[in-house]
Amino acid sequence: MSTSQREKKKNTILVIEDEQVIREMIKIALQRNYNIIEASSCKEAIDLLKIESIDLVLVDYMLPDGRGFKVVQEVQNGDNRIPVIFMTAYGTESVAIQALRTGVVDYIKKPINLPYLRQRVHEILSGKDRTDPSFEEEIPSKEEFLIDGITMYIEENYMEPLSLEKLSSMMYMSKSRFCCLFKKRQGCGFSQYLNMVRIRNATELLKRSDLSITEIAHSVGYRRLEHFERVFKSIHGVTPGEFRRKLSKKD
């Protein structure tokens, strides 16, 4: 099956949010399992709804050219089977009631709990009931929301070249600001976290695959074998080769 054929099997989500960095974090959280189309205004979103096949709409309450209810109305005028999730920093009960009365399937407060968003999108598109209604209560600050998005990006792209410059620019932050916020949220620095993710995945490959140690090093993002072995030993206390030999003896 070709890549394009696989992509067609994914549901498509229209994300309507005027802040680019917030769109980027939402995209990071969802793009592994869904095709993401972005819009930054009501007009842009309405134009896309007319030409794209959309399975779910995620729309912000306040947009530069009006409220998200304009998009909800367009959805209902066209194909009211498309579920809509409302996002808003306006946490008043009246906004929530108005959103639910217009037919949206859920109402999520900002800053968004990204794991919760993933859960709700999956449940809505698969037709399942909500499994953990208390999950939404942990609402992060905007800075925590951004770091959560970057953390998801690291978890899913650890095998690629990742730099402090690249990730901080994705968040429109200075490197020093990014480092400070990342350490505060995750309890360790960016490089340490990236190494832990890579070594965790390398450990699973050592346990479950017949790949050579060099192949494993490259597959988890290390370009130099000696660097991989040094980091692996600092975490496990043994080299990858010694780790694998110990596993063989146990077997």
Q: What is the distance between the alpha carbons of residues 46 and 170, in angstroms, rounded to a whole number?
A: 27
Question: Which CATH number applies to 3-139?
Answer: 3.40.50.2300
How far is 193 from 75, CA to CA, in rounded Å? 42
Radius of gyration of the chain from Cα atoms? 21
| pLDDT, tens digit (0-9, with 9 covering 90-100), for 82-109 | 999 988 876 566 776 777 777 788 888 8
At position 19, the amino acid (one-letter code) is E
Q: Which of 3-17, 185-199, 206-220 has the lowest mean pLDDT?
A: 3-17
pTM for the full model? 0.80
In angstroms, the CA 11 to CA 16 distance is: 16
Distance CA 87, CA 196 (A): 33
Q: Determine the number of helices (DSSP H) and then strands (DSSP E) in the chain.
A: 13, 7
Q: Say which residue, 12 or 98, is predicted with more confidence.
A: 12
Q: Which of 227, 250, 251 is nearest to 240 (CA)?
A: 227
Domain ranges in the chain are: 3-139, 142-251
Class at the top of the CATH hierarchy for domain 142-251: mainly alpha
